[in-house]
Structure 1
Amino acid sequence: MHAQSPTPAPALPGPLRIAVMGAGAVGCYFGALLARAGHDVVLIGRPAHVQAIQARGLRLQTATEDVHVPLAASTEPQAVQGADAVLLCVKSTDTEDAARQILPHLAPGALVLTLQNGVAGDERARAVLGPAHPVAAAVVYVATAMEGAGHVRHYGRGELVIAPAPGSERLAQALSAAGIPTQVSPDVRGALWAKLVINCAYNALSALTQQPYGWLAAQDGAGEVIADLVEECLAVARADGVRLPGDIHAAVRGIVLTMPGQRSSTAQDLARGRPTEIEHLNGYVARRGAALGVPTPVNHALRVLVRMAEAAAHQKA
């Protein structure tokens, strides 16, 4: 008998040129890992942030290291020129505006990956970019925060689930090789909804109290409020024909175990006096519920409370 030759491992993609549009905590974290893996990465963000990165590199702080990663940074949307892929990491409220800014500069066939909260970011970006540019939604499971200009801190997790699109497999291979667990899945809508449920359960409560998930879960009566939020979200999802993967109740509980010290992105925005994404979280569930005839009183109340907190903060500024 002849010995069979071992099956060769699939070739990894060569270095990609990747632009991160909206280089906040999520974009900086993934951009830093991609840059360290040898890809040509440019971060597009706010002036103070960009200046710090240009001067010292991006400071990446994790549980095991605290390093400066050299990479390019710009304040201009035309920095997406020549990119094989664009990670669209702007806040959900800025999706259409960011898509309009990069549209004139996108290379033909460049993949635009939406890494955002909410469930409709890819649809909104696609409406602006048109059929000439592939757009894929990504579900992001990562706990990060900006600790200062040019300084991102990673608190936990870091997986991605990407929708199928031209270029998705190649980008997924590059992300996985860079230490970012990534899979391409046709059921991204269900996964986006699963993340939406988790965000609706915790983000507004964390924002209103300015406390992390572990503290929230320990408070008297919080479990019942969170359970009500989750049940409302699931009722809307069922009415909308969405199937959520896995055990969503276990996933909601698991956030407290995996990210006990993390404050939500909504809490971080509110603390900095920036507009929150509440309209794309609890607000989205409340609007979709109203359209489908599903009552969502708890989600509606939290949406209103966060908007009140935003208005109060703006009044003080």
Structure 2
Amino acid sequence: MSIGSDAGDAGTSWPRVAVFGAGAVGCHFGAKLAEAGVPVTLIARPAHVDAIRKDGLLFESGGQQRRIAISADTSPEPVRDADVVLFCVKTRDTTEGARSLVPLLKPGATVVSMQNGVDNVPKMREAGVDALGAVVYVAASMPGPGHLLHSGRGDLVVGEYGSAQAPSARAAAVSELFERAGVRCKLVADVRGELWTKLVMNCVFNAMSAVGRSRYGPLVERPDTRAVARDLVDECVSVAKAEGVPLADADTLYEAALKLGQAMAPATSSTEQDLSLGRPTEIDSLNGYVAARGEALGVATPVNRALAAMVRLLDVARR
């Protein structure tokens, strides 16, 4: 593999992987790689690291539990030895997190942004890290220290951020890494359209799930919330078109959102989880981002704007 390798189980050659900012997303994909024999280190908060070092990562999915042995550290030092760094910090920490990586990355290491939002890679480049973009589709949460609860899906899309005619070698290597580990990972030349497609899904579910304290299922079952979802999709598509981003039509994306909600019916959004735990949300990278870009581009986004404002009010009140 072009991104470096290390001897794994049964002589399999794997790159060394560090998961920087290992919350629910990072723990899920780090665990899937570790189970395949990839040498993975989770860089996470002390409570999670202590629990994982003591008993392994508790992985709960489909009513079944298992414990996965995986390295964990509170220090970013494992980045120095990593061939691949999965960058999983919250969007509000993108710039600071990227700057902290700069002196640690070894030559040739590949960094993959596995975050919500559509503008993380440009921010990372400004901070000195030329990252790949990835679109993450997984419903997961951390209900306790070292405890991952997986509620649905678990697949990725990876590619360069910018106009490219064909997938890059490093993106192909990352896709191969996940595919070999049993994680579906679609490879694309330019990830921007895929990031915007995911943004549309996030704008449909994150704020409504948070404001209504609802799982995804009821949001796609009720006629009134489906109508709000349709308005959200229409606004997002209008802003994307004004940005010049190639995106599917609103009808297609609305149907995709309904299918996603049905497939992930038991899930709650990361925004709802952040509010419940008293953590700052990423709403300014989701509905708030669409509203802000809409204002800059002269596109009306009243539903995204209203939901973003309500989430901010809840954010302040709960913290």
TM-score (norm 2): 0.91
Partner of 1:109: 108
How far apart are the structure 2 equivalents of 1:69 and 1:260? 26
How far apart are the structure 2 equivalents of 1:163 and 1:117? 15
Q: What amino acid sits opposite 1:54 in the alignment?
A: R
From 277, 281, 305, give the equivalent of 1:276.
Answer: 281
Is 2:157–2:186's contact at 8 Å kept on the other side of the alignment? yes
Partner of 1:229: 232
Tell me the alpha carbon deviations over residues 228-250 of structure 1, each in whole angstroms, 9 at most, x when there is no partner: 11111111011111112482122
Deviates more, 1:99-108 or 1:43-52: 99-108
SS in 1 for 2:246: coil
Partner of 2:264: 259
Q: What amino acid sits opposite 2:258 in the alignment?
A: R
SS in 2 for 1:147: strand
Gaps of 5+ in 1: 1-11
Query: Counterparts in 2 of 1:211-250, with a 5 A limit?
Result: 211-245=214-248, 247-250=252-255
Asked if 1:135 is matched to 2:92, the reply is: no
How far apart are the structure 2 equivalents of 1:214 and 1:197? 17
Tell me the alpha carbon deviations over residues 241-278 of structure 1, each in whole angstroms, 9 at most, x when there is no partner: 11124821221111221001110000000100000000
Asked if 1:72 is matched to 2:75, the reply is: no
Shift of 1:64: 6.6
Partner of 2:213: 210
Is 1:115–1:139's contact at 8 Å kept on the other side of the alignment? yes
SS in 2 for 1:104: coil
Q: What amino acid sits opposite 1:177 in the alignment?
A: R
Asked if 1:144 is matched to 2:137, the reply is: no
Is 1:207–1:306's contact at 8 Å kept on the other side of the alignment? yes
Deviates more, 1:95-104 or 1:22-31: 95-104
Deviates more, 1:41-50 or 1:93-102: 93-102
Q: What amino acid sits opposite 1:277 in the alignment?
A: E
Query: Counterparts in 2 of 1:1-317, with a 5 A limit?
Result: 14-63=13-62, 65-130=64-129, 134-164=130-160, 165-245=168-248, 247-314=252-319
SS in 2 for 1:186: strand
Q: What amino acid sits opposite 1:160 in the alignment?
A: L
TM-score (norm 1): 0.91
Question: Identity rate of aligned residues, in percent?
Answer: 46
How far apart are the structure 2 equivalents of 1:226 and 1:56? 42
The alpha-carbon distance between structure 1 residues 200 and 292, as it changes in their structure 2 partners (threshold 3 A), is same
Is 2:135–2:195's contact at 8 Å kept on the other side of the alignment? yes
Is 1:13–1:173's contact at 8 Å kept on the other side of the alignment? no
The alpha-carbon distance between structure 1 residues 102 and 187, as it changes in their structure 2 partners (threshold 3 A), is closer
How far apart are the structure 2 equivalents of 1:220 and 1:157? 25
How far apart are the structure 2 equivalents of 1:277 and 1:166? 31
How far apart are the structure 1 equivalents of 2:258 and 2:223? 16
- How many positions carry a matched residue from both structures? 300
Task: Please say which structure displays the higher CA radius of gyration.
Answer: 1
Shift of 1:222: 1.2
How far apart are the structure 2 equivalents of 1:81 and 1:280? 29
The alpha-carbon distance between structure 1 residues 53 and 301, as it changes in their structure 2 partners (threshold 3 A), is same
Is 1:285–1:296's contact at 8 Å kept on the other side of the alignment? yes
SS in 1 for 2:13: coil
How far apart are the structure 2 equivalents of 1:168 and 1:255? 26
Tell me the alpha carbon deviations over residues 178-226 of structure 1, each in whole angstroms, 9 at most, x when there is no partner: 1110122023111110110111111101011211011223335212111
